[in-house]
Amino acid sequence: MPCIEWTEKFELGISQLDEHHRHLVDILNNIYDCYQDENHETVLENVLEELLKYTQYHFSAEEQLMQDTNYPARREHTMEHDMFTRQIAQFEQDLFDGKGLLALEMIQFLGTWLLRHIIDVDKKFGIYLAAREASCPHQ
């Protein structure tokens, strides 16, 4: 998957999370750009590390919000986050170990996973928050 273009269908309507997601998409696009450069592996490791760090930061903010708002599906949602975080760490390790040949598949996996997670799993949380806000505007 080459560069991801941000579109409205990725928007949750929660400005903090939308901003985080946009930044994640930017990092993924950087990863793809680095992949296309010659001698990309060291740089790829750096941007993967950036993706891992930012993903952890973003997931913990989202999980905190799920907890603060008593989101009923937060456990399953958090399990998806954990799986993704472990997968990035594994890719990073593979690159470090010199098994970086699958880099394009790796980038495709990360992009596909993230967009599916936003459209499917995060959107449900966005809908929950909007409904909650509508019924109890001061919570």
Residues that bind Fe ion (CB under 5 A): 62, 122
Q: Please identify, using beta-carbon distances, which residue of 44 and 122 lies nearer to Fe ion.
A: 122
CB of 29 within 8 A of CB of 3?
yes
Whole-number Cα distances in Å, 120 to 10, 36, 68, 82, 116? 10, 29, 21, 17, 6
Nearest distance in Å: CB 46, Fe ion: 24
Of the pair 34, 110, the CB lying nearest Fe ion is at: 110
3-state class of 114 per DSSP?
helix
- Shortest separation between residue 133's beta carbon and Fe ion, angstroms: 18
To the nearest whole angstrom, how small is the minimum distance from the Cβ of residue 117 to Fe ion? 6
Q: Which is nearer to Fe ion, 106 or 118 (CB)?
A: 118
Among residues 115, 110, 76, the alpha carbon closest in space to that of 95 is found at: 110
What is the DSSP track for 40-57? -HHHHHHHHHHHHHHHHH
Q: The tokens of 94 are what?
A: 């593979």
Find the shortest distance in angstroms from Cβ 77 to Fe ion. Answer: 6
Of 40 and 123, nearer to Fe ion (C-beta) is 123
